[in-house]
Structures are given as structure tokens and as C-alpha cells.
Structure 1
Amino acid sequence: ILDTLNEFNVYNHIHDLVVEIKDYKQNLPDSLNTISFEKLNLSTKKGSIAINNISLTPRVAKYYYANIVGHQVGWHSLQNIDISIDQLDVFKMLSEKVLHVQKIKASNGVLDIFKDKELPIPVNQRRPMLQDMIRNIDLPLKIDSIEVENFRINFSSRLSSKMPEGALDFYELEAQMTNLVNIDSAISKNAKLNIKASAKIMNKGLLTTNFDFDMGDENNPFSFDAHLTTMSATEFNSVLEALAFVSIESGTVKELSMQATGDNYYATGNMKFLYNDLKVSTINKKNLKTKGMGKVMKTFFANAFVVKKNNPGFKFFPRDGAMYYERDPQKIIIDYVTKTALSGVVSSIGARNARKDIKRIQKESKKQKDAERKALKKAERRAVPIP
């Protein structure tokens, strides 16, 4: 049909194409999820699409979802979202297969994410960096901005069916992504993809973040900074007790700020973490969960009782925390950023001997990773045939 419309140049003779769809519901090809919305309105003259009350609903309960798939996978429930798309040239998208949108806005949604870690991760699973995900989209696109308003995201996970869930919730999420593009000519003019976001962790401390991603470099460099306002450290116990068997008995986060840079291989940075009266204990040292956390986290959790109670301490000069984490290509970038931040927390609160061990491991790991990258590039240059 589209080829016929192109052949007879029908698009140029349509003044305004108006479409309205109500009460749509469709099972997705995976047979595990259903997408639905209350109403969709499209106007080619206005270049707008409005979708009301859109939802993605799993057809399987979260505890059975991964078992049906056969490996570790996320269960997602997305409810009651309103989406608006502005300044979309529908006919250009259909005729030239290019998507150019001025703004996409999503508001008033609730996203529940559950991960059952009892099942294994597929051995050959590889998660692309954000830049690669965008580059690999088949449709050429340029989206000036994507905005998220008044969202709530609930993360939960469990290690096995015999253990409780751990949860971390984000309230009043606001976010903006600018310059989402995979067209080479546009990237050559502006290669920076920016994301700004803010949310209340457990509806308490305000977290603000800023990310910059370089779309023009195949090593996928990125940088981020974040700031967290005061809140009780015990608010993190749900996720720490369930997933790491570590409990915070007391403590107040006064302020936390961090800056880091990373790429396909590792991330480094610095953290300033100010806190009072911090007491940490292990629930069951035999069951201590450190798999996948890296050498730095293992060093800390092996000595979880030995932490500095306050920062700043008696000398009134705050300790800085060094951040270092090697990317696990089987995990998504959110895991990469989270583990990088956690390495800074561990470095900040550890007792002096533990901090020395952590910094030594960070330095040795970075040196080894740099040597591996240098050797790989050297081997690639040798492999290039000389004309």
C-alpha cells in the first residue's frame, strides 16, 4: 500500500489525515505480554500523536515469568501512561523511512520491574551500550527531546524462591533526553546525547543525575554526575538484606555527590559521601552475596563490620571515595552505572586498611585492563592487511 501511495505521490494531495482508535488491546508476539491503550489520536496536519492510558501488562505472574522463558529475564509491568508526540512528519516517515520528531512526552506512569536471579544468565548474552543500541536501530531517526514526567519506578529482585525480595523504589521521576540520533550527518554536527533525571529514592532523598554519551566514538565514552540529598541509610535495607545479606543498623546520609567517566571497558571517578552514625553488619556471613560485584565489593563485604562511623571524622576533612568498576557485557548499562557508584560508597565508608586494599585493587585492575586494551589494539593493527 505504501509503495502504491509513493508511486502516485498521494501524500502531496492529503491536507490532513485524522485517525482515532479506541480501546485497543493486542497480545505481543512473545505471548507473555499484552499492550493496550484507551485512545489514540493522530493528525498529520498538526504532526501530532496522542495516546491515552497506554499499558504493557504481563500475562504471567512475575514468579513464573523467567521459568517460562528459561533463563534470567526481567518482568515488566507498565501502567497508565499518557504519551504525546509533537512535530512528527508522518508522510516523510512513511515515504522516506526517516523518523524526525521534535518532542516525545510520557507522563503519569508506573513501571514495575522484577528480576528473579535464581535462574542463570544465558552464557552468550551480550547487552549493548546505549550508543550501540541507538546506532543499531534500523530506522534512521532524529528525536530532539524525550521527556518523562511524574513517573514511579519500582525495582525488585530475589536471589531464590526461598528468599525474600529486595526492593528499591523511585518516586516523582522527571527526566529529559536530548539529541537522540543515529544519522551520521547529524552526529557529525552534534555527537552528544544528554540525559538529565531526578527522583526521590524510597520517596525520601532527592537524587539528581546528568549523563553525557558520545555517539561519535566506537569506544562509547560517557560521563555522569549525581547528587543525593539527606535521608536515612536504613532505607536501603530492603535491597541490601535480600541481595547482599548486609544490614544497615543506623546511619544518616547527609550528602552524596559523584563524578565519573566510562566506556566499553571500565568506569572511574570520585565520590564525596558525607554521613553520620553508620553501623553496618552482615546477616549471615556464610551466605554473603558478592557474585558479580567485582573485587572491590568482595573486599568490603568480607570486612563489613569494619567501617568508619562518620564522614567527616575527627579531623573535619571529608574522605573522598575512589570509584572503579569493570563493565560486565552481560548486564545493562544501569547495572554498570550502579556498580560504579557502589564502588565509591564502599571506598568511602571502609576503615583505613580496607580503603587501602580497595584503592590497591582499583589501581591494579585498571592497569591490567589498560594493558589488555593496548594489546588488543596492537593485535588489530597487525591483522590489517597492507595494500
Structure 2
Amino acid sequence: MKSIWKWVIGILVLIVVALAGISWYFSRNWKPLVEQQLKELVKSSTDSLYQLHYDDLDMTIALGNLTLKNAVLRADTLVYAQMEAAKLAPDNLYDIEIKELKVKRFGILDILRNRELNIKSIDLTEPRIRLKNTYHAYNDTISAEKPKKSLYESIKGVFKEVNIGRIDIANAAFNYSKLGEDGESTDFGLDSLQIRVEDILIDENAQSDTSRLYYTKRIEAFIPGFEYAFSNGFYTANFEALQINTETKTLLLTQVDYKPALSKAAFYKKHRKNVTRTDLHFDTLYIEQLDFKRLIEKQQTVAERIYVNNGHAKLYGDKRYPKQPVNQIGQAPHQKLMRVKQMIRIDTIFVKNIDVVYGEMSGKYSREGEISFDDATGTLTNVTNDTLALAKDKYMLADLSARVMNKGNLHAKFRFDMLSKTGEHSYTGTLGRMNAPDFNRVLYPLLNVEIASGNIRGIRFHITGTDYRSRGEFRFDYDNLKIDLKADPDKPRKKSSLKIASFLVNKMIINDSNPDANEKYHVGKVNHKRVPEHTFFKNLWESLLDGIKQTAGISAEREQKWKERAEIAQHVVEQTKESSQETKGFFKRLFKKKEE
């Protein structure tokens, strides 16, 4: 019995020794052949543009393992120069360094018998990828005239099929440099990337498999952070993390910021103009059913849903600096979307808990005022510039709710005709109960006026507009409205004159309620002609302001009568003269000079 076991053990040892010997022999003698084939494959598949170098190649044929140490894939600059001269050079040029590349469990017999390469896994440690993009105008037409060779066409002379279980990329670094037509360079980098690619199949049918993205079933990527400073020095952009999954077609960004790099004072001192200063932040931006292939190949954004959660959009202006008049006709948000060169098609954008704030520094009083729409929540649907999709439904819709000054509940709906040549749009809305003095946060700093009291019971409006005019109805229910005029810092007035001026405004000009004391209900009939230099949102506000003035009982005729009475009042007493001057300036400050 013991002798049988000796024979069995002896045979097994002989087999192991024989396999080890064969493995050693093939590893030693096949190494030059593998090196030659590997380098030739890289050269042929890149039209001799790239060359592969490495410090060491270690092979274990019996186990099907291969390890490359300090591998470098680098472009041949002479070949690239020749390709540029022949107008065949690609826009993208790569430089790749890999500390270690491990190939595990590749089937040598499959290669010999069927020219099939089957690999269980590939691990890349600390790859450094540098991508330089140089614009070549001829590449805009070459792709149409001469389709690019596919990956399968590049390798089919060596392998009939390549199947890789997974590729893991750990601690990768990526640097991007783009040289534009104007000679300006754009650069940014990413560090500590983690990427996993699963189920790679390269054969004659895989490229047309719609369930795969570039021959893969799934690509998962995690980028732990990104920060980019714009070359003009005014803004930076950054995010905390980016996660991508091509199988579920999702993209998640966290802690996203687009913010000024300078303080308000430094920003405007450097700009020297009254431009809008923008500060955007979102806790999360999540995209579902994103078409990655279109995004990569054509820079088209096609997705079913985008979720934007928890953040702010803060806009700011400083009227102490000059504002260059620019014709704003045709610059509404939906018109700008239609002019974007790359296609955008998003079924629905969900917005949740976004604070929208507009602030401004008064040029006259040097005080900051702001109006806020807190916790804005709602949806935007049919967000697209795709004319084929718009032929079926030409309207982009927005349905949003927010708290004005963090108090009154506002619900607004917008309807944009995306195919209109004159920017046709409409908006309806309601505002719930709130105290009128809540608006002093914007009125006093900018207009030197306060609302002493007032109860807003409700606002309803429906406006239709084009690039040139807005028409509609505005209904404003309120009571106990009283205005308090403040002293002009440049023109000191007696307190008694200010009280009389406030009294004149409240008694002679503004209805303290709607319906008024005579139980007449005032409806604002909006018919506002747009000033071409006013932005879409400023024109929107001025259209609503037209309705506010009418519902408060202030018509053009009544304004004229008030001015005549104020002129008469100037001859009564000096104090009344001061009061009349205050009241004469009221409309100009409150209505004529109100900015967006």
C-alpha cells in the first residue's frame, strides 16, 4: 500500500517538475517573441505613431501571467510631424507612463489554436496620462470622407478575438492641455482616479452591440476631486467627487461650485464695469440615462433626468461702476439654448431647495440690497435645442415654487416657444400671504424708501410676451399699505418735511388697499414695451411692476395730477416745499430707476 502512494507521489512530482521545466523553457524562449509581437501590435494599431518601452517583462506561461515594469507609451514626434504635413495627424496626442501592468490568466493555447486572446484581469498601478489637444481644421471633414479605423480592424491581423474579464486602474493621474486656434492654452489635471472596466469583448460584432460602450459592458470611475481656475482670473470651478457608471448610465457630482475667485470689491475693481457676478453651488448633481457615447464622440448631452439638489445661485451687481449698454433682443434663456452648437436633449430637470438671490450695490447710497427666492423647487421639461424633437413639441416648460424673502409662497409657471423667431413666451404665477415690509431688504438700500406697513393677501398674474412687448393681467390684493420716505444722504431734510412727504404719498398717491376705500378693485392691464438694452429678467420684472403700479392706483394720469398738485403746494410754505420735492422724487426713485 505504501509503495502505491510512493508511486502516486512520485508521478505527481514528476508532472510538476516537467510543467515547471516547460514553463521555464517557454518563458525564456518565448519572451523575445512576445516582446516583438507586443511592440509590433502597438506600432501597427497606431499607424506607427506610438512606441512602447518598458524596463522589464516577466512571464509565467504555465499560469498565464505577464508583468510589465515602468511601461511607457509615447508618440514619435517625427512621425507626428509627417502626419501633420500630410494633414493626417489626430487632434489628440497621448503620453502614458505606467509603474506596473499585470496581466493575469491569459490563455496561451487559445492564442496558438484560434488566435483568440482571453485574459482574466489586467491591473494598472499609478498610470500617468498626459493628453495634448491641438486643433486641426482638416479633422472636421476627414471623419466624413474617411471613417476612422476601428479597434477591431487595428488588431484583427494579430487576434481574431480579445476577451478581458476586467481592468482595474488604481491611483491614476490625468493631465489635459488644449491649444486653441488663437494660440491660447487650456490646462487642467485630475489625480487619484480609480477606474474599473468590466467584460471587454473585441471582435467583428462587438462594436455594433448597443449594450456595450466601446466594447465594454461597464465602466466605473471615481474621481475624488477637481479644481480649475479660469485664465481670466475671475472664477474657479470645482467639485468634491465624480462617479460614473456606464452600465446604469448615471453620473453623480457632489459639492459642485462655480464661484468668483475674488471678493466683491476686488472683482469690480478689476473688471471696472457693472457686470453680473455669479456664484453657483449644488450639493449634488445627478444625471440618469446619460448617453455617454454621444457625449464623448459628439459632445452632445442627451439624458432622461437631471437632479439638482440643495444649493444656491447668487447674482450680484454694483451700480457704482458703469454698465455698457448692450442690445439684449434675442438673448432670453430659451433663445440662448437654441444657439448652443452641440445638441442638448434632457427630458426633465428636477430642482430642489435652491436659493436664488439677486443683490446689488446702490450707486447713489452705497448700500447693498437683495431679493431672494428661497428653497426653489420644481421641474423643467423638454429642455432641448434638437429641432427634430421640437417639431413634435416646441415648448420648454418650467414649473417652480419658492419662498419670496423666505416668507411668501410663490408658484410660477413658464412656457417658452423654442421655435419662435421673436422669443414668444408666457408666465403665470401666484404669491401667497406675506407682510409688505419684508421687501424693505431691497427697497431701503437701493431706493431709500421703506414700507411702514402692509398686508399682502395675494398676487396673481398671467403675462404673454415677445422680444418687444409684454401683455397680460396683474391682480394684487392688499390692505393697510403705508410708505415711509427716508432722508437723502446728499440732501438733508427736516424730519417734519419727510413726515409730510410720506403723508402726501400715502394719502394722495397710493391706494392703501385693493379694493380701495371706494370698494373699487384695480386690475393691472400690463402693456409694457421692452427697452432693448434690458435683459429678459429685467424686462420680466418691469412688466410685473407695470401691473403693481396700476393695482396700487397709480396711473399715468394720476401721476401727472400729483405732480401738478405738488407744484402748487410749493408756494404754500417752505416746509411743504421740501415735502413736495421729496414726493416728486418718489416715483423716480421707486419706479423709474429700479434695476433688475
Return the TM-score normalized by structure 1: 0.82
Rounded to whole Å, the distance in 1 between the matches of 2:226 and 2:320 is 35
Q: Where does residue 372 of structure 1 map in the other structure?
A: none
Q: Is the 8 A contact 2:376 2:400 kept in 1?
A: yes
For the structure 1 residues 172 and 64, does the alpha-carbon distance in structure 2 shift closer, same or farther, using more than 3 Å as the test?
same
SS of the residue corresponding to residue 542 of structure 2 reads helix
The 3-state SS of whatever aligns with 2:217 is coil
User: Which position in structure 2 is the counterpart of 1:364?
Assistant: none
Residues 195 and 212 of structure 1 are in contact (CA less than 8 Å); yes or no, is this contact kept in structure 2?
Answer: yes
1:293 aligns to what? none
Instruction: Give the equivalent residue in structure 1 for 2:430.
Output: 227
Matched, 1:64 2:206: no
Number of the residue aligned with 2:366: 163
Q: What amino acid is the match of 2:372?
A: D
Q: Which residue of 1 is the match for residue 150 of structure 2? A: 8
Q: What is the one-letter code of the residue matched to 2:316?
A: F
- Residue of structure 1 in register with 2:297 after alignment: 95
SS in 2 for 1:17: strand
Distance in 1 (alpha carbons) for counterparts of 2:365 and 2:315? 20
Counterpart for residue 135 of structure 1: 338
- Given that residues 348 and 355 in structure 1 are in contact (C-alpha distance below 8 angstroms), is that contact kept between their aligned partners in structure 2? no
Q: Which amino acid aligns with 2:409?
A: L
Return the offset for 1:131: 2.5
Letter in 1 for 2:150: F
Q: Which residue of 1 aligns with 2:405?
A: 202
- Map residues 179-328 of structure 1 onto 2, 5 A cutoff: 179-283=382-486, 304-305=505-506, 306-328=509-531
Structure 1 residue 285 displacement after superposition: 7.5
Corresponding position: 1:76 with 2:278: yes
Q: Does residue 28 of structure 1 match 2:170?
A: no
Counterparts of 2:391 and 2:400 in 1: how far apart (Å)?
A: 26
Residues 351, 187 of structure 1: alpha-carbon distance in 2 compared, 3 angstrom cutoff: closer
CA deviation profile, 1:90-128 (whole Å, cap 9, x unmatched) = 012323443211111110102322210121222345461
The 1:317–1:324 alpha-carbon spacing in structure 2 relative to 1, beyond 3 Å, is same
Q: Distance in 1 between matches of 2:365 and 2:246?
A: 54
How far apart, in 1, do the equivalents of 2:552 and 2:356 lie? Answer: 28
CA deviations 1:193-221 (Å, max 9, x no partner) are: 10111111111100110010101110111
Tell me how large the CA RMSD over aligned residues is: 2.7
Structure 2 residue aligned with 1:55 = 257
For structure 1, which segment, 96-105 or 197-206, has the greater mean C-alpha deviation from structure 2 after superposition?
A: 96-105
Give, in whole Å, the separation in 2 of the partners of 1:269 and 1:340: 9
CA distance in 2, matches of 1:51, 1:355: 55
Kindly state the Cα deviation for residue 324 of structure 1 after the two structures are TM-superposed: 2.9
Residue 113 (str. 1) matches residue 315 (str. 2):
yes
Distance in 1 separating the partners of 2:282 and 2:226: 14
8 A Cα contact 2:381 2:396, kept in partner? yes
Preserved CA contact (<8 Å) 1:126 1:330: yes
In the alignment, is the contact (CA less than 8 A) between 1:66 and 1:74 conserved in 2?
no
Query: What corresponds to 1:295 in structure 2?
Result: none
Report the alpha carbon displacement of residue 6 of structure 1 after superposing the two structures with TM: 5.9
Q: Partner letter of residue 249 of structure 1?
A: A
Amino acid in the other structure paired with 1:103: R
Are the equivalent residues in 2 in contact too, given 1:347–1:355 (CA < 8 A)? no
The answer (yes or no) to whether the contact 1:267–1:323 under 8 Å persists in 2 is yes
* Structure 1 unaligned regions, length at least 5: 289-300, 359-387
Other structure's SS at 1:255 match: strand
CA distance in 2, matches of 1:46, 1:315: 65
Give the AA of the match of 1:231.
M
Q: Give 1:344 shift.
A: 0.6
Shift of residue 253, structure 1, vs aligned partner: 0.4
Q: Distance in 1 between matches of 2:249 and 2:148?
A: 19
Deviation at 1:30, TM superposition (A): 2.6
Tell me if the contact between 2:452 and 2:481 (Cα under 8 Å) persists in the aligned partners.
Answer: yes
- When Rg is computed on C-alpha atoms for both structures, the one with the higher figure is 2
Q: Tell me the SS of whatever aligns to 2:256.
A: strand
Counterpart Cα distance in 2 of 1:357 and 1:145: 49
Unaligned runs of 5+ in 2: 1-91, 94-138, 152-206, 208-212, 492-501, 562-596
Measured in 2, the distance between the counterparts of 1:259 and 1:122 equals 32
The 3 A distance-change label for structure 1 pair 124 and 349 is closer
Superposed CA offset, 1:21-61 (max 9, x none): 11211112332111111110011111111001111231111
The separation in 2 between residues aligned to 1:248 and 1:171, in whole angstroms, is 21
The alpha-carbon deviation at position 239 of structure 1 amounts to 1.1
The separation in 1 between residues aligned to 2:275 and 2:231, in whole angstroms, is 17
- Percent of counterpart pairs with the same letter? 22
Q: Distance in 2 between matches of 1:124 and 1:200?
A: 32
Q: Secondary structure at the match of 2:396?
A: strand
| 3-state secondary structure, aligned to 2:366 | coil
Deviations 1:161-194 (A, max 9, x none): 8521111122121031111111221111110010
Q: Distance in 2 between matches of 1:37 and 1:25?
A: 7
- Give the corresponding residue for 2:246: 44
1:381 maps to none
SS at the partner of 1:175?
Answer: strand
Q: 1:352/1:29 Cα in 2 relative to 1: closer, same or farther (>3 Å)?
A: closer
- Further displaced range: 99-108 or 8-17: 8-17
C-alpha distance 312-134 of structure 1, shift in aligned 2 (>3 A): same
Whole-angstrom CA distance in 2 between matches of 1:59 and 1:12: 39
Q: Does 1:332 align with 2:535?
A: yes
Q: In the superposition, relative to structure 1, how do residues 110 and 141 fare at CA in structure 2: closer, same or farther (>3 Å)?
A: closer
Name the CA shift for 1:6/1:54 in 2 (closer, same or farther; >3 Å).
farther
Query: What amino acid does structure 1 have at the position aligned with 2:391?
Result: S
| Rounded Cα–Cα distance in structure 2 between residues aligned with 1:28 and 1:353 | 48
Q: Give, in whole Å, the separation in 1 of the partners of 2:148 and 2:544.
A: 51
Instruction: Please give the alpha-carbon distance, in whole angstroms, between the structure 2 residues aligned to 1:145 and 1:228.
Output: 25
Q: Which of these residues, 353, 373, 377, is aligned with residue 174 of structure 1?
A: 377
SS in 2 for 1:103: strand
